[in-house]
Amino acid sequence: MKRVAFIISFIFLLGITFCILVGWLSKASFSGQIAKRLEAPPEVVWEVITDIEKLPLRRGDVAHIELEGQNELGFAKWKEHTKTGGYLLREIAEQEDTERLMVNITESNIGMTGSWLYELEKDGQGCYLTITEHSLIEQWFLRMVMEFRGREYHLLREMDVIEKAVEPDGLVRAGWW
């Protein structure tokens, strides 16, 4: 019986050690890009990605938003509270008509900062949306989670959320926003 308990404990500790090493040894920085053609015109997509107050309706992980006025460039800044008790201070760093938007995370209590660039290009009745992420995760635990989940997870999820929101039966078109 002692031998079985020892083997189980050893395997458990080995697993924990492996997870810690994955987090510590993985790169803190990440750069990635995703592009997709959406059936909605750029103006509709732009409405979705710039409507900060309605983020909790679009993204299930956001509990609520606190608008914090404007940054030194005159663009919006806000505090995004997650349903797990986290927060991210975000701000628009660059905005060009309905074509280009850069959002930065300047601070968070989860150890993540970075920038996300949204670029829209009209294509017939729809548009191409390209999202580029440059992020830094300082905490080893979150890096471990992201390694197992896939570092491109947030890019894929963001594209999926935007695509669903602009579909004909999505939240924007249905008037839920």
Domains of the chain in sequence order: 2-174 (3.30.530.20)
pTM for this predicted structure: 0.86
Contact 152, 135 (CB under 8 A): no
| Sequence-ordered list of residues with C-beta below 8 angstroms from that of 125, at least 6 positions apart, any chain | 39, 41
Contact 42, 118 (CB under 8 A): no
Per-residue pLDDT of the chain (177 residues; tens, 9 = 90+): 788 877 888 788 888 888 787 778 889 999 999 999 999 999 999 999 999 998 888 888 899 999 999 999 999 999 999 999 999 999 999 999 889 999 999 999 988 999 999 999 999 999 999 999 999 999 888 888 888 888 898 899 999 999 998 887 654 433 333
- Tokens 């939240």 belong to 171
State the Cα–Cα distance between residues 166 and 126, nearest whole angstrom.
11
Give the side-chain half-sphere CA count within 13 A for 164.
11
State the Cα–Cα distance between residues 70 and 90, nearest whole angstrom.
11
